[in-house]
Amino acid sequence: MNKRNYQKELDKVLEGLDSRPSLLLHSCCGPCSSYVLTYLARYFDITVIYYNPNIFPPEEFDKRLKEQKRLIDALNHDLRQGDEGSEGAVMPEGAPDIRLVAGDYDPDVFFDMAGGLEDVPEGGERCFKCYELRMREAAAMAKDGGYDYFTTTLSISPLKNAEKINEIGEALEKEYGVKHLPSDFKKREGYKQSIELSRKYDLYRQDYCGCVFSRRD
pLDDT of residue 88: 54
* pTM of the predicted protein model: 0.94
pLDDT of residue 1: 60
- Amino acid letter for position 7: Q
Of 146, 215, 148, give the one whose Cα is nearest residue 180.
148
Half-sphere exposure of 183 (CA within 13 A, CB side): 29
Distance CA 38, CA 215 (A): 29
Dihedral angle computed from the Cα positions of residues 150, 192, 123 and 142, in that order, rounded to the nearest 10 degrees: -10
Distance CA 11, CA 199 (A): 27
Walking along the chain (217 residues) 10 residues at a time, the average pLDDT comes out as: 90 97 97 96 96 96 97 93 59 91 97 95 94 98 98 96 97 98 97 96 88 83
For the chain, list the domains and their CATH numbers: 22-216 (3.40.50.620)
